[in-house]
Amino acid sequence: MIKTSYIDAINQAMHEEMERDERVFLIGEDVGVYGGVFKATKGLLDRFGPERVIDSPISEVYIAGGSVGAAMVGMRPIAEIQFADFITPSMDQLIQQAAKVRYRTGGQWTCPMVVRVCCGGDVGGGLYHSQINEQWFFSQPGLQVILPSTPYDAKGLLKSAIRGEDPVIYFEHKRLYRWIKDEIPESEFTVPIGKAAIRKEGKDITIVAYGLMCHRSLEAISELEKEGVSVELIDMRTLLPWDRETIFESIKKTSKAVLVQESPKTGGVMAEISAAINEEIFDYLDAPVTRVCGLDVPAIPFAPPMERFFLPNKEKIVNVVKKVIEF
């Protein structure tokens, strides 16, 4: 075991998969000579050369479209979108092409590509460098959507994504890049796509979260435990497909649920999870399913006090959990 940061775990996964499979290549803005804007791709150009580590033009539609074409003829591209805020030009290629290849060809063609997307707030990035727009892709059958919260999962899920046969939107939360460190094996491992993780066991209430919000939830749980509240925390890890079994079994046990996401409340991932809970296991609930989310505003504010006001945090989660417990 070796202590590794979130961003180094991602870098390791790409090194290992490019060593393992010569079809794997990387394309994106500044991924080569510069080593990535956050240095997630450092060392890859030196090791694998410019034919497999490609510095692209500043064109997300080119990055995504070229990757779709390469994937369909047998390559395994890792496309980097430098910030989630700039993914919109690539949406036609990702939604109309990549997500539909297997379906429209009756399974004769697949599109094995990974789109790495740097996302998230709590970094003072302002409206064009802080978005987390996972909900745009969550509603698209044909895609897989991943957002890990730990270095172990960041590495293991990325390796699984690269080896899969379907297009994966792989979100990396920039706040976690160097803040979170974890002991991960030096030996080969992967993490299965579509399986949630129980981060903490409890009996009074279930919190479901992903990405940075898992860590904010753990901070809240530390406070709640001082008051005798036992909380079970489920880390979704994979958003599409999401792990109904693990989430439902936890809520059946605790009979109460709080769902936490960073992105705005309306139309978010947790809206669907809440609807599914109410439709499928309503009889197990002792209180309304409640969400803690970012605000429904056009973008995350730049000013630190306003950014803190926008984002879910320990205090907000604690307050909502208490209200649900007391219902």
Phi-psi bin for 180: left (phi > 0), alpha (psi -120 to 50), beta?
beta
The model's pTM is 0.97
Question: What CATH number is associated with residue 28?
Answer: 3.40.50.970
pLDDT, position 152: 98
Residue pLDDT, tens place only, 211-233: 999 999 999 999 999 999 999 99
pLDDT tens-digit readout, 154-181: 999 999 999 999 999 999 999 999 999 9
Question: For position 299, what pLDDT does the model report?
Answer: 85
Structure tokens at 29: 């803005």
Which domain range does residue 98 map to? 2-184
Quick check: 236 and 242 in contact, CB under 8 A? Answer: yes
Same-domain pairing of 279 and 309 = yes
Nearest to 205 by CA among 240, 229, 177, 222: 229
Q: Are residues 177 and 214 in the same domain?
A: no
Residues marked active site are found at 129
Whether residues 170 and 30 fall in one domain: yes
Residue 191 maps to a domain:
no
Res. 327 pLDDT band, cuts 50 70 90: confident
Contact status, residue 112 vs residue 165, Cβ threshold 8 Å: yes
Q: Are residues 161 and 201 in the same domain?
A: no
Strands (E), 2-106: 2-5, 24-28, 53-55, 76-81
Is there a single domain that holds both residue 175 and residue 219? no
